[in-house]
Chain A
Amino acid sequence: MPVVEIEGLTKSYRVYQKNEGLLAAVRGLFHRQYRTVDAVRGIDLTVEQGEFVAFLGPNGAGKTTTLKLLSGVIHPSGGTAHVMGYVPWKREHAYRRRFALVMGQKNQLWWDLPAQESFRLHQQIYRIDATDFDRTRDELTELLQVRQLLGRPVRELSLGERMKMELIAALLHSPEVLFLDEPTIGLDVVAQHNIQQFLKHYQEVRQITILLTSHYMKDVAALCRRAVIIAQGRIMYDGSLAGIVDRFSGHKVVTLAFADDAELPNLARFGTVVEARAPKVKLRVDRPKVAEMLAAVLSQHVVSDVSVEDPPLEEVIADMFQSAEASLATADA
Chain B
Amino acid sequence: MSTAAATFVSRFGVWWTILRICIEERLVYRGDFALGTLMRFLPIITQTFLWTAVFVGAGGPAAIGGFTRDEFIAYYLLTYVARAFSSMPGLASSIAAQVRSGEIKKYLVQPIDLLTFLFLSRLAHKLVYYAVATAPFALVFYICRGYFHGWPDAPTLGAFVLSLMMSFLLGFFLEATLGMIGFWFLEVSSLLFVYMLFNFFFSGHMFPLTILSEPWRTIVLYQPLQYLAYFPAAVFLGKVQGPELVQGLLGQAAWTFAFIVAARTAMHFGLKRYSAFGG
A residues in contact (CB < 8 Å) with B:
13, 15, 37, 64, 68, 71-75, 91, 93, 96-97, 99-101, 103, 105-106, 108, 110, 112-113, 117-118, 120-127, 153
Contact = CB atoms under 8 A, between A and B. Distances in A.
A118 B10 CA distance: 18
Interface residues of B, number: 27
Contact of A124 (B13, B24, B102, B277): B13
Given A113-B21, A113-B28, A96 B111 contact: yes
Contacts, number: 73
B31 to A, nearest CB: 14
A96 B110 contact: yes
20 contacts: A13-B275, A37-B277, A71-B108, A73-B105, A73-B108, A74-B274, A91-B271, A100-B109, A105-B279, A110-B21, A112-B25, A112-B28, A112-B29, A113-B21, A113-B25, A120-B17, A121-B17, A121-B21, A124-B14, A126-B111
B277 A15 contact: yes
Majority-rule SS of A interface residues:
mixed
Interface of B: 10, 13-14, 16-18, 21, 24-25, 28-29, 102-103, 105-106, 108-112, 271-272, 274-277, 279
B21 A74 contact: no
Contacts of B102: 106
A68 B276 contact: yes
Contacts of A73: 105, 108-109, 274, 276
Contacts of B279: 64, 105-106
B198 to A, nearest CB: 24
A24 to B, nearest CB: 19
Contacts of B24: 113, 117
Given A99-B109, A103-B105, A124-B16, 4 more contacts: A75-B274, A113-B21, A120-B17, A124-B14
**Leading 8 A-B pairs by shortest Cβ distance:** A93-B111, A124-B17, A96-B111, A108-B106, A112-B28, A124-B14, A101-B109, A13-B277
Contact of B276 (A74, A117, A126): A74
Contacts of B109: 71-73, 96, 99-101
B14 to A, nearest CB: 4
A125 B111 contact: yes
B268 to A, nearest CB: 11
B278 to A, nearest CB: 9
Most chain B CB neighbours (cut-off 10 Å) among A13, A117, A124:
A124
Nearest to B104: A73
A200 to B, nearest CB: 24
